[in-house]
């Protein structure tokens, strides 16, 4: 089974994550950041990842530490659950429409962490959530998952739709990339022989 459990405890956060790459989208999310809870629920459902996340963070300061550290721990959980990455499709992409918004995401589970990010979120906040934390989350996720992740906004004017469309698009790209390719089971999908 391609599963992982991660804990991350610092002076700013105490995080526990359970991840099953071959799930059905069942989730239990309690991060202390309401908007992030909603985004991670969508992420689990659209990726069909079973996901449990709890975080006790210093949100009295702001949400930055919690959001970034959850991205770190979730990326590490994906990396651990993928193991040696044998037999996976490796690549995934999605152009996802959400009302006026159109988000492109593409992922390469390359073993190298990189985020190429091009969102133009028009407001500084959605509710109490600092919209600049969207980039922090995905940077932490990509670097710790050891994947190349491209996110590009092709259209959109509503901040909520842009961020929600991004979480859904990335989840569906990852869903495609982590799948096991029955034609290549047991093979590393790289001419280098390692990812």
pLDDT band at 131 (very low <50, low <70, confident <90, very high): very high
Alpha carbon 32 to its chain centroid, in Å, reads: 18
Checking DSSP bridges between strand 27-30 and strand 50-57, what pairing results, if any? Answer: parallel
pLDDT in tens, 132-182: 999 999 999 999 999 999 999 999 999 999 999 999 999 999 999 999 999
pLDDT in tens, 56-112: 999 999 999 999 999 999 999 999 999 999 999 999 999 999 999 999 999 999 999
Q: What is the pLDDT of residue 111?
A: 96
Q: 124 is written with which tokens?
A: 């500084």
Q: Are 34 and 55 in contact (CB under 8 A)?
A: no
- Domains for the chain: give ranges and CATH numbers: 3-178 (3.30.230.40)
Q: Are 94 and 176 in contact (CB under 8 A)?
A: yes
The CA-atom distances, in angstroms, between 117 and each of 39, 162, 173, 177 are: 18, 13, 15, 19
pTM over 0.75: yes
Count how many residues are written for the chain: 195
Per residue in 37-56, is it b (16+ CB within 10 Å) or e — as a string? bbbbbbbbbbbbbbbbbbbe
Q: Does residue 118 have a pLDDT over 90?
A: yes
Q: Are 81 and 174 in contact (CB under 8 A)?
A: no
């Amino acid at each position: 089974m391609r599963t992982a459990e991660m804990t991350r405890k610092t002076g700013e956060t105490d995080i526990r994550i359970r991840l099953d790459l071959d799930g059905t989208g069942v989730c239990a999310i309690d991060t202390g950041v309401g908007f992030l809870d909603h985004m991670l629920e969508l992420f689990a459902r659209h990726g069909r990842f079973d996901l449990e996340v709890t975080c006790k963070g210093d949100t009295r300061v702001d949400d930055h530490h919690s959001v970034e550290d959850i991205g770190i721990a979730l990326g590490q959980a994906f990396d651990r659950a993928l193991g040696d990455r044998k037999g996976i499709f490796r690549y995934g992409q999605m152009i996802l429409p959400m009302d006026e918004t159109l988000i492109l995401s593409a992922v390469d589970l390359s073993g190298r962490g990189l985020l190429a990010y091009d969102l133009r979120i028009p407001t500084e906040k959605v509710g109490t959530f600092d919209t600049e934390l969207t980039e922090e989350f995905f940077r932490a996720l990509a670097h710790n998952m050891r994947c190349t992740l491209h996110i590009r906004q092709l259209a959109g004017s509503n901040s909520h739709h842009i961020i929600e469309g991004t979480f859904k698009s990335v989840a569906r790209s990852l869903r495609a990339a982590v799948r096991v390719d029955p034609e290549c089971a047991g093979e590393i999908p790289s001419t280098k022989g390692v990812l």
